[in-house]
Structure 1
Amino acid sequence: MIRYRFHSFLQFQLPFLAWCIFIFTVSSIPQARIPNFVNYTDKMVHAGVFFTLCWLAHVAFRFQPAAFLRTHALLLAWIFVVLFGVSDEYHQMFTPGRTSEVLDLAADAAGGLFYVLFYRRFRFYDRYILTR
């Protein structure tokens, strides 16, 4: 049983936690070191990073022993993404050379919402894979 839980943690929760740490680490880098190629490219990057975060959070919540987390995994994943985006923007207020922007938070929330819509549209593939 303990071995199964550890394997489950490595497979489902660890990638989620590692991605959260990655986001926090990158948002701690001063802005001058991060290239900005085109206007609003950073918003697309925010949306992509938080799309991935929502996906990993959804998987992590779906494979929890608590029934509430499993049954509401998609909603909880999106709520987590929004709250993590708020905390990320707050954290950037104190990072030298970085600023907190409402548009970044909107891009974070939109990235999570894109995942929710994507999952709801293509979830029959998920059911097919899980029942094989």
Structure 2
Amino acid sequence: MRQSSSKLNLIYLYRLPVIGLCLLIFWQSSNPSIISTSLFSHDDKVLHFGVWALLAFLIARDLIAEKPFWPLTKIKIITIVFACLFGLSDEIHQAFVPSRSASAGDFLADCAGSIFGCLFYLDVFIRKNRRPNNKSL
């Protein structure tokens, strides 16, 4: 019974934030844009980059928690591919929403943010903790 409790904790702490952010992105993409005037040139690309960086960060965090013995390369590939495919599905979804449009630039910003978020999490939070204490480095 303790193992199932541990599994539920993993789901609550790690997987639900990923699902929640995906649902928030889908909901926001189903509605007209929140910001009606541009704050600066290409502000939407910066927002896409940031949101998908957060999504990839959360996906990598979930995979590390649930599959701690997977190689980091496998986690990187799964994280980046999933986040980029979710970005592609978001752009396809927006193509069918009135007052929205699909954009290759937004998709590229999604992919760039996905790569950044994944590498940031794995390099800053994971590799630092996995390195042996070696003072000569």
Aligned residue identity for 1:124: R
Paired residue secondary structure (1:37): coil
Partner of 1:124: 127
Trace 1:69-108 onto structure 2 (pairs within 5 A): 70-71=70-71, 72-108=74-110
* Separation in structure 2 between the aligned mates of residue 40 and residue 29 of structure 1, nearest angstrom: 20
* Structure 1: gaps of 5 or more residues: none
Trace 1:35-46 onto structure 2 (pairs within 5 A): 35=36, 36-46=38-48
Partner of 1:34: 35
RMSD: 2.0
- Spell out, residue by residue over 1:62-92, the C-alpha distance to the aligned partner (whole angstroms, 9 max, x if none): 223596xx33112100001110000000000
Partner of 1:109: 111
Determine if the alignment matches structure 1 residue 6 to structure 2 residue 14: no
Larger radius of gyration: 2
Paired residue secondary structure (1:63): helix
Superposition TM-score, scaled by structure 1 size: 0.84
Comparing both structures, which one devotes a greater share of its residues to helix? 1
**Runs of 4+ with >3 A deviation:** none
* Separation in structure 2 between the aligned mates of residue 126 and residue 86 of structure 1, nearest angstrom: 33
* Separation in structure 2 between the aligned mates of residue 61 and residue 121 of structure 1, nearest angstrom: 15
Aligned residue identity for 1:28: S
Identity of counterpart residues, as a percentage?
30
* Structure 2: gaps of 5 or more residues: 132-137
Paired residue secondary structure (1:61): helix
Superposition TM-score, scaled by structure 2 size: 0.81
Aligned residue identity for 1:34: I
* Separation in structure 2 between the aligned mates of residue 88 and residue 126 of structure 1, nearest angstrom: 34
Residue 29 of structure 1: CA displacement? 1.2
Residue 127 of structure 1: CA displacement? 2.9
